[in-house]
Each structure stands twice: as structure tokens, then as C-alpha cells.
Chain A
Amino acid sequence: MNCEVCQLKELEVEHFEIREVLRCILHTIVFHRALGLVRPKDVDLELFEITYVQCGDVELEKKIDEKIDQFISWVEKHPNKKSQICLSFYEVKSKQPSWFTNKTERLYWEQWYVNLNVTQQPKQHSSKSHHTKVVVDPGESANEERSSRRAMVEASLREVLFQIIKFVNEKKDHVPPISEGVIYFPYEITMPRKFQ
């Protein structure tokens, strides 16, 4: 079986945006791969005017949050670096049992790479002069810059979500059959490569 790979568009985010962005992307992907009976749960982002959908599984939500925490810890130790988080779906196949091994094998049939470039917001310098002239208010320009930056991130995030929708629509043949009683396919979240 083919393993379909989707490299999502890189997002430039700040540290405090990581959690929301990753939650949005990872849950959106999983929602499209949770083909069992789900009661969709709409979640509004706080930082952006985007609503994404979760499949409503508490366990899944917890696991995703744990992985995001790990990712954030790594990012804190390696600031200003590009990083990836990989969401993979697999099937469990049991190997030929032998005297020595009785392992099961994971056959990955789909992998999603979420590419993030975590930046630090540069500090604003006061533009006061020594002669106490009219001070250009740094706060206002910083706010404008912040809001335009926020809008850009929101637009990029929206693009990523559309990218996910496009991918899941175009490639359906590789998706395994749905098992009875299973809500979502087995998955794993890894941080495969950390590169500058």
C-alpha cells in the first residue's frame, strides 16, 4: 500500500501561538481520519477567527495536547528554529510469528508534516529623544504591526486547513477500510527532524 505524504505549508508563528495552531491543524487532520461514529465538536480559536472541528474524543484530545506540550518544550530549548511535527496513520500488521519474534508491524499509509517556524517577537525600542520632543508612540505602531502579523498568520493557517481539505478529498483510495467500533485509525505524533 502506498504511503501518502502531505507536506503542509510552513507557518511562521510566535511561541504563544504554537499551541492553538497545532491543535487546529492536528485535530483537523484527525477529524478527517476519524471515520467511525463521531459527534463533531466545533472549537473556536482564541487568537484567530477560525473555527476548527474536533472529533470529540477525550482521549485523543489529551494525547494531542501532550504531544504539543512536548513540542513546545523542545522549541523553548531551541528557539528561533524551524521544526516539524509529524502525524502518521498506520495499520497494525502482525509479522510472521517465529520462535524469536512475535512483533507487530506498523504499516504507515499516510503521513502529515506540519512545518513551523517559531519566531521570537523583537523588542520594541522607545524612540524618545534626549530633548523630550514629541515622542513617537511605539505602542501604536507595534499594535498595528502585531495585528497585521496576526492577520497574516490567520490567512496562512486558513490556507493550511484548505490544503488539508484538498488533500483528503483528492486521495481517498489509500485509506484502509473502517473497522467496526473504531473511531479513528491508529496514529502517532512524532518530531522527526529538527532543522534550522
Chain B
Amino acid sequence: MEMDRESGKLEQIVSQFRSKILHVVLDSRVPSLHRHQQQDSLSLSRVRKTDKWFNLVLGDRPPALENLNFSLRNLLDPMVIDIILVRHASYSSSVDNLYAPSAAAAGPSTETVIERWVVQYDCPRVFATPSGAEAAVSYKKIYKKCIVLLRSLYTQMRLLPAYRIFRQLSSLNQTYNFDIVYKVSSFSHPFSREEEDGMKEYNFAPVEALPGCLCVSVIYHATLSDFNLEPLVSLPPKIITDYVGSPTTDPMRSFPSSERGAHATSFPFRGLRPPSSAPFQRPHSWSSGFHRGIPPTKTQSLAGSPPVYRTSPKPYDITPPPTDLYGNRIQNHRVSTLQQATAYDEYKLSPPFSPSASPSTPTYLSGANPLLTRHCSETAPVTIPLPPTGRSNRYLSPNSSDPSRHSLPPLSPRSSKHDTSSQESPSGIRSYRKIEALRAGESPSGLSNLYSAPKVVRDSKDDSGRFSGLLSSSGSPRIGFSRSSSRLSFQDDMDDCEFSCPFDVDDVDVSDSSSQNTENKRASEFTAQSNLIGKKSQDAAVGILVHMLRTAPPLRQDSSCYSTRSLRTEYEGGVGIASGFFMPRKTADALEELNSYREMKDLLLSKSGTQVVRKEGMK
């Protein structure tokens, strides 16, 4: 009985020792697992039972670890942890490849084991188990020595070459042409002679755990510079010379997207009848750019943009929204990203990557763009060609290439993101100007860097690494943070961009000369945001709605408001009404406006695809 208890103790120590080592290794090498840990801020503060083992608080064990532990129950078998570097071939620059579900454009990946950790309890077949007080002392010593070994293993993880690339992958503001995955098994394929070249071995001093001893060793690549690991380069910003809005382009050009059934959704503008009752097919940049099959333009070509892997068959269709799980996660994440800019700086430096005494970023993680540059959607800096020539034509049609628009602040992200021939007016929504400013230097197409968006959201779901034998963990054998999270971030970027608040223009300079521009922008925003309502993140949608309601003109009839309201109605009507500059406001109009707000709210909150909202006739 006593012997059983004692052998049980030893078994427990050995088992927990292996689990702890696995946790340390994977937490320091696999970005997705590490991020899983980082996300849960609550988990960082409390101490779990598993943390108390060997007095090393590491936080929650990822679920994958629990599965692994279960599968490697035979403690006498070695536990082999392979850290595998997956290098992606260079990508084609064609936009088509991004939309292609097949990974043909991705090219083959190369996998190399860059580290192999082996944990083994060497035990002779026949042994005498210590008993009584001797055993108790023995277990305490064993335990203490295991603690010391784990400390040194933890330290060494940070000194080996693979740690650096782990940190690179963990950084949120850059994407790379490689991934790190892992494989845990109870056996290992020996390295070939070629593989062994350039590898070093380190054996930790064994811990006597009578009747056997615990042995930990590592074989690792002494240098990773031969692997040509590099960040993915985004395209430099390019001026789109034929951007829609320029007088030289055809504002009514149709786009393939309209053939695929995506219709712009416009909101009823205070009861005014739209110019046409037909489905509104104004070729917006955001409506066209998100469909598959859009012929790649020069400005949309991407060099080295990552993700051709996609887990969803229709990543970029407007109509089918992302799955709720991803959508919700992305929405929440996007909102938090946009709203808590500084929080991500803190995130980057939070434990275990605490800053040194002087609060500067780690040297080998520096040089990247600010975090927010990667979190927000893309737009290109565009030239604003001509000064305003006059105001009377401004509200003729949302499609008109109104020169006056060019005097407005820079284009909204959606308008410049995907299609150079977009009709979107350079409505320069202020709320996105910040995003644009932060994304200086991004590609004009706006696609390449969307995949560098925070990887935290998807990774924990996608992660599993690779397992041999009886391991039952599911999931793809790759940890494809770049693929999956990029897709989601892309969609979320779309969401954020698409739903620009028409009343954001209140942030624009409020001088008289621009107030009419403001109203014009509002109306155009109203129309412009129609297409991708379904994908709008809920929180952002609510935020935008609140903002709209706050900045909406008062319902009561107030002569001071006439000028702005009348201009808006003028635009909404889509008719060039030169007269009627000041229109008295009626209750019906107000009711109409209220209804339109309600509809907008419903539309925002729903997650369905594009809806066609007929413009209601002006009563």
C-alpha cells in the first residue's frame, strides 16, 4: 500500500514534469498557443493548480496540451517535441490568387525541424523502490531539482535561436513568410546527416528520480539565418491616377460585381424619392472590390501578400457573412482595436514580454509600423485633383464626379481600397482619417496588409500542431495564423470601412465653406455604406448609429438648420434642385427621417447579406 502510494507520487512528479516542460516549450515557440495564453488577462493574475507544480506560474494550459498529456500516458516512453519551421514559397502577385480557394499560388512549403526536445524518464526494468522516510526525502529532493531544471529550461528557451523567430511571429505588426508548428510524439525520426549539419545538442543534467532519472535534452539549429526568413513586404503606396471622382473617368462605369447580384443598398433620405426605383447599381468601390473574380488591376496587384490559404470557401463575398463565431470574434476584436489603441501597445509588452526598466520596445521587434497600422483597413493616398468649381452641382447625384469633392479630406478607406474606378466620393470621413494616417505606406489595394491584422482571434481555434500516434487533437497540421486571421481581419476591415458613418463628417472642419461639403458627404455616406451592412461588426454598428443619432440635425423646425437640411434633402432627392435652398421642415419629414434611422439600425444589426432598401418617396 505504502509502496503504491510512493510510486504514485513519483509517477505524479514525472507526469507533471513532462507536462510542465511541454507547456514551457510550446508557450515559448508556438505563437498561437502563446497568444491563447495572453488573451485571457484574468488568467494571468490567478494561480492555478497546474501553476503550483514546480512553482512556476505559466497560466492556463492550452487544451491541446491536455489532449497531448492524455495521449502520452506511458511515462516510460520518451516525449519528443519537434518545433518545425514551415517556410512558405513566394506568392504570386496576382489578386486572383488571393481569391482562389486553391493554394496553387502559394507554392510548396518547406518544413524543417529546428528544435527537438526530448524528455525521458530512464528507468531500469528491475528496481527497488525506496520506502518510508527515505522516500519522502527523496521525493522532496527530486522535486527541488526538477524546479531548478525547469528554471534553467525556461531561461534557455529564450536564448536559443528559435526564440527570436517566435517573437517575430508573435508580433502583431508584421507578417512573415514562415510559420512555426509543433509535433509531439513518443518517438522521433532520426535526423539525416544533412539535417544534423549545423545542429547542436544540449543535455540538461539528469535529475535523479530513483529508481530512474529524468533526462531532458535538446537538438537545435545553431543559426537560422540560412533559412531566408523574412517579413512579407507590402506594396508601397501608389497614387491612383484614374481614381473615380476624377473628371476624366466615367462615373457610371459598371462593374462585374453588379452582375453577381450584389446591390448597393441605400437608405431613404428623409422621404425624398430616389432618382430611380431600379436597384441601385452605382458602382461603388466597396461593392466591387470584395467579389471574387474582379480582374486585378495594377494598383491592386500585391507582392508577397500572404494568404492564399483560406478555411472558408467564400471569404470575400459580400452576401454571405462570416460565420458567427468568427464574425463575432472579429467584431469584438476590431472594436477593441480601434477604440483602445494604446491597449495594444501594452499588449505587446505585457508579461511575459515585460519591458525593461526603460520603457522602450525590444530592439529586435522594433522597426515595424505602429500596431494600429496593421489593425485598420487599407486605403491609398490619393491625389485630390481639382479645387471646387462650384457648389451647385455638388448634390446632383452621388455619382457625379464633383470636383468639389476633391477638396474634401482624404478618401475613406472603402472608397479607395479595392477598385480604382469606384464612384465613391472622396468623402474623407474623419473617423477613418486617423486610420489612414496610421496606415501610411500601405498598398493601394489595401489587401496585402490586411493579413497582418491581429492574429489573436483565430489562432486558438485553428491551432493544433501535428500529432502522431494516438494523439487525438484535431485541426489542421499547420498553425495558420496568417491565413485564417488574415481572412477574418480582412473581413472585419471591410466591415469597419464599409460602414462609415455619414455623420462622421461632423469632425470635419465646421467652417461655413465646408458645411455643405459635410452634408454632401453625409448623404453620400448614407448611400455608400449600403453594400456591406451585413458584415458590420455589431459593436461598431451600434457605435456608428449612436454617433449618427448624436450628430443628426434636430427634428424640430429651426431656421438655423434649414440650410444644412435642405441641402441634404436636395442631394437625397438626386435631383439638381437649384432652388428650394431653404425648405421648411415638416413633421412628415421628421417621421420619415426617424423611420430611416430605424431601418438603418435594423440593417446594421442584422447580419444578413446585402439588402436592397428602396428609397422611399418623399411625402
Taking Cβ atoms with an 8 Å cutoff, the residues of A that contact B are 20, 23, 28, 31-32, 34-54, 65, 158, 161-162, 164-165, 168-170, 172, 175, 177-178
> Chain A nearest CB: distance from B148 CB in Å?
6
Report B340-375 residues with CB < 8 Å from chain A CB.
351-358, 360, 362-365
Instruction: For A169, give its contact among B148, B352, B358 (CB under 8 Å).
Output: B148
Report how far A46 CA is from B365 CA in the complex, Å.
11
> Chain A nearest CB: distance from B433 CB in Å?
34
Asked whether, in the complex, the Cβ of A53 is within 8 Å of the Cβ of B144, the reply is no
Report how far A184 CA is from B154 CA in the complex, Å.
17
Instruction: For A46, give its contact among B140, B151, B159, B360 (CB under 8 Å).
Output: B360
With A31-B151, A39-B57, A49-B164 as known contacts, state yes or no: A23 contacts B145, CB within 8 Å. Answer: no
Report how far A172 CA is from B208 CA in the complex, Å.
11
Contacts of B363 in A (CB 8 A): 44-49
With A32-B152, A169-B148, A177-B144 as known contacts, state yes or no: A37 contacts B356, CB within 8 Å. Answer: no
Asked whether, in the complex, the Cβ of B354 is within 8 Å of the Cβ of A53, the reply is no
In the complex, residue of chain B having the shortest beta-carbon distance to the beta carbon of A32: B151
In the complex, residue of chain B having the shortest beta-carbon distance to the beta carbon of A183: B55
A–B pairs, 9, beta carbons within 8 Å: A20-B356, A32-B155, A35-B55, A37-B56, A39-B57, A41-B352, A48-B363, A168-B148, A169-B149
Asked whether, in the complex, the Cβ of B47 is within 8 Å of the Cβ of A42, the reply is no
Report how far A49 CA is from B362 CA in the complex, Å.
8
Report how far A37 CA is from B52 CA in the complex, Å.
7
Asked whether, in the complex, the Cβ of A42 is within 8 Å of the Cβ of B158, the reply is yes
Contacts of A28 in B (CB 8 A): 155
Instruction: For A51, give its contact among B51, B148, B158, B358 (CB under 8 Å).
Output: B158
* Interface status of B204 (Cβ within 8 A of chain A): yes
Asked whether, in the complex, the Cβ of A49 is within 8 Å of the Cβ of B364, the reply is yes
> Chain B nearest CB: distance from A23 CB in Å?
7
Q: Which 4 A-B pairs have the closest CB atoms?
A: A44-B362, A42-B352, A39-B57, A169-B205
5 extra interchain contacts, Cβ-Cβ under 8 A, other than A37-B56, A51-B167, A169-B149? A32-B151, A165-B159, A172-B145, A178-B55, A178-B144
* Interface status of B163 (Cβ within 8 A of chain A): yes
> Chain B nearest CB: distance from A67 CB in Å?
14
Instruction: For B152, give its contact among A34, A45, A65, A169 (CB under 8 Å).
Output: A169
Asked whether, in the complex, the Cβ of B159 is within 8 Å of the Cβ of A42, the reply is no
Report how far A32 CA is from B145 CA in the complex, Å.
11
Report how far A134 CA is from B148 CA in the complex, Å.
60
Asked whether, in the complex, the Cβ of A43 is within 8 Å of the Cβ of B148, the reply is no
B149, B151, B159, B351 interface centre (most CB from chain A within 10 Å): B151
Contacts of B357 in A (CB 8 A): 23, 65
* Interface status of B513 (Cβ within 8 A of chain A): no
Report how far A51 CA is from B57 CA in the complex, Å.
18
* Interface status of B338 (Cβ within 8 A of chain A): no
* Interface status of B438 (Cβ within 8 A of chain A): no
A48, A51, A65, A170 interface centre (most CB from chain B within 10 Å): A51
> Chain B nearest CB: distance from A114 CB in Å?
16
Contacts of A162 in B (CB 8 A): 156, 159
Instruction: For A175, give its contact among B51, B144, B351, B355 (CB under 8 Å).
Output: B144
* Interface status of B147 (Cβ within 8 A of chain A): yes
Asked whether, in the complex, the Cβ of A42 is within 8 Å of the Cβ of B151, the reply is no
Report how far A165 CA is from B352 CA in the complex, Å.
20
Contacts of A178 in B (CB 8 A): 55, 144, 147
B47, B356, B360 interface centre (most CB from chain A within 10 Å): B356
Asked whether, in the complex, the Cβ of B354 is within 8 Å of the Cβ of A42, the reply is yes
Contacts of A170 in B (CB 8 A): 205
Report how far A54 CA is from B149 CA in the complex, Å.
16
Report how far A169 CA is from B145 CA in the complex, Å.
9
With A42-B353, A44-B362, A161-B159 as known contacts, state yes or no: A37 contacts B144, CB within 8 Å. Answer: no
Report how far A74 CA is from B352 CA in the complex, Å.
33
With A46-B360, A172-B148 as known contacts, state yes or no: A39 contacts B351, CB within 8 Å. Answer: yes
A28, A35, A42, A46 interface centre (most CB from chain B within 10 Å): A42
B157-183 contact mask (Cβ, 8 Å, vs A): 1 or 0: 011000110010000000000000000
Contacts of B352 in A (CB 8 A): 40-42, 53
Contacts of A45 in B (CB 8 A): 356, 362-363
Contacts of A168 in B (CB 8 A): 148, 151-152
Report how far A172 CA is from B149 CA in the complex, Å.
9
Asked whether, in the complex, the Cβ of A172 is within 8 Å of the Cβ of B152, the reply is no
> Chain B nearest CB: distance from A21 CB in Å?
12
Contacts of A53 in B (CB 8 A): 154-155, 158, 352
Asked whether, in the complex, the Cβ of B353 is within 8 Å of the Cβ of A44, the reply is yes
Report how far A48 CA is from B164 CA in the complex, Å.
12
Contacts of A35 in B (CB 8 A): 55, 144, 147-148, 151
Contacts of B364 in A (CB 8 A): 44, 49
> Chain B nearest CB: distance from A147 CB in Å?
12
Asked whether, in the complex, the Cβ of A41 is within 8 Å of the Cβ of B57, the reply is no
> Chain B nearest CB: distance from A98 CB in Å?
33
Report how far A152 CA is from B356 CA in the complex, Å.
21
Asked whether, in the complex, the Cβ of A158 is within 8 Å of the Cβ of B354, the reply is no
Contacts of B149 in A (CB 8 A): 169
> Chain A nearest CB: distance from B455 CB in Å?
19
B51, B159, B355 interface centre (most CB from chain A within 10 Å): B159
Asked whether, in the complex, the Cβ of B358 is within 8 Å of the Cβ of A158, the reply is no
Report how far A31 CA is from B156 CA in the complex, Å.
12
> Chain A nearest CB: distance from B354 CB in Å?
5
Contacts of B52 in A (CB 8 A): 37
Asked whether, in the complex, the Cβ of B159 is within 8 Å of the Cβ of A172, the reply is no
Report how far A41 CA is from B158 CA in the complex, Å.
12
In the complex, residue of chain B having the shortest beta-carbon distance to the beta carbon of A170: B205
> Chain A nearest CB: distance from B279 CB in Å?
56
> Chain A nearest CB: distance from B360 CB in Å?
6
Report how far A28 CA is from B335 CA in the complex, Å.
39
Asked whether, in the complex, the Cβ of A38 is within 8 Å of the Cβ of B56, the reply is yes
Contacts of A41 in B (CB 8 A): 351-352, 354
Contacts of B163 in A (CB 8 A): 51
Asked whether, in the complex, the Cβ of A158 is within 8 Å of the Cβ of B155, the reply is no
In the complex, residue of chain B having the shortest beta-carbon distance to the beta carbon of A49: B364
Contacts of B145 in A (CB 8 A): 172
Contacts of A175 in B (CB 8 A): 144, 148
Asked whether, in the complex, the Cβ of A37 is within 8 Å of the Cβ of B55, the reply is yes
Asked whether, in the complex, the Cβ of B356 is within 8 Å of the Cβ of A43, the reply is yes
In the complex, residue of chain A having the shortest beta-carbon distance to the beta carbon of B205: A169
Contacts of A34 in B (CB 8 A): 151
Contacts of B164 in A (CB 8 A): 49
Contacts of B204 in A (CB 8 A): 169
Contacts of B57 in A (CB 8 A): 37-40
